[in-house]
């Protein structure tokens, strides 16, 4: 009984510590599985870069793409970037039109019948006389429209918006 007060003091100290540090350990509920976050948007260099990547228009539209406006729409400081994007897209379209005219002259005024023939005969990826198109921003791609037999620029607004959120945060600032 001589040391009972020490035992009681130790028990009281233990209770105080438990209260101070949140009580006995409790199992935390497992966090609800969150929806898989989309992969970060990969940007790319565009100045002095080229590509031979051309999508099928129907697939690009199905993936959320829309035909890009080929005129300058911006105001203020964005005008220079908009002018560059627009002129690059127009130059690529003109280059493909010229090669299509040569193709038609050689093939009895016929245009490529489908995407595969367009890629093999007009763009000619990996060949020395293939067309190297100027690189577009990360949210735009070239696409071939087999109905009109034209190269078009397709924009992916979801990529643009996702990148805006990644770089400005949830507040949009």
For the cut 90, the answer to whether the pLDDT of residue 55 exceeds it is yes
Contacts of 71 (CB under 8 A, 6+ apart): 86
**Residue 79 falls within a domain, yes or no?**
yes
Asked if residue 100 is part of any domain, the answer here is yes
Q: Is the CB of residue 77 less than 8 Å from the CB of residue 166?
A: no
pLDDT tens, position by position, 1-35: 566 556 555 656 655 655 555 545 555 555 555 55
Residue 31 lies in a domain: no
Q: How many domains would you assign to the chain? A: 1
Name the CA dihedral angle for 104, 108, 110, 113, rounded to a multiple of 10 degrees: -110
User: Is the pLDDT assigned to residue 98 strictly greater than 80?
Assistant: yes
Q: What are the DSSP E strand ranges found in the chain?
A: 50-51, 54-56, 66-67, 133-134, 140-145, 150-155
- Single out the residue of 70, 72, 69 nearest to residue 81, CA to CA: 72
Q: What is the mean pLDDT of residues 127-149?
A: 92
pLDDT 10s digits, 140-152 = 999 999 999 999 9
CA atoms within 13 A on the CB side of 62: 5
**Strand 133-134 vs strand 50-51: parallel, antiparallel, or unpaired?**
antiparallel
* Domain assignment of residue 173, yes or no: no
What integer is the mean pLDDT of 125-132? 91
Tell me, yes or no, whether 156 lies in a domain.
yes
Q: Are 145 and 65 in contact (CB under 8 A)?
A: no
Does 44 map to a domain?
no
Q: Has residue 42 been placed in a domain?
A: no
What are the pLDDT digits (tens) for 38-52? Answer: 677 777 888 889 999
How far apart CA 42 and CA 153 sit, in angstroms, is 19
Cα 169 to its chain centre, rounded Å, is 17
Q: 36 vs 40, 128, 139, 168, CA distance in Å?
A: 12, 42, 21, 20
* Residue at 68 is within a domain: yes
Q: Which domain holds residue 72?
A: 50-168
What pTM did the predictor assign? 0.71
**Of 52, 48, 58, 51, whose CA–CA distance to 123 is shortest?**
52
């Amino acid at each position: 009984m001589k040391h009972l007060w020490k035992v009681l003091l130790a028990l009281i100290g233990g209770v105080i510590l438990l209260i101070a540090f949140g009580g006995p350990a409790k199992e935390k509920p497992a966090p609800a599985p969150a929806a898989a976050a989309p992969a970060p948007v990969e940007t790319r260099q565009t100045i002095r870069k080229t590509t031979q990547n051309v999508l099928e228009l129907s697939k690009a539209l199905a993936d959320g793409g829309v035909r890009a406006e080929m005129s300058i729409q911006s105001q203020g400081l964005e005008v220079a970037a908009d002018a560059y994007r627009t002129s690059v897209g127009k130059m690529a379209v003109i280059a493909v039109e010229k090669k299509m005219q040569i193709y038609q002259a050689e093939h009895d005024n016929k245009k490529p019948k489908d995407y595969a023939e367009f890629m093999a005969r007009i763009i000619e990826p990996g060949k020395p006389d293939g067309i190297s198109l100027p690189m577009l921003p990360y949210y735009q791609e070239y696409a071939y429209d087999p109905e009109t037999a034209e190269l078009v620029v397709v924009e992916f607004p979801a990529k643009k918006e996702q990148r805006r959120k990644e770089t400005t945060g949830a507040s949009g600032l």
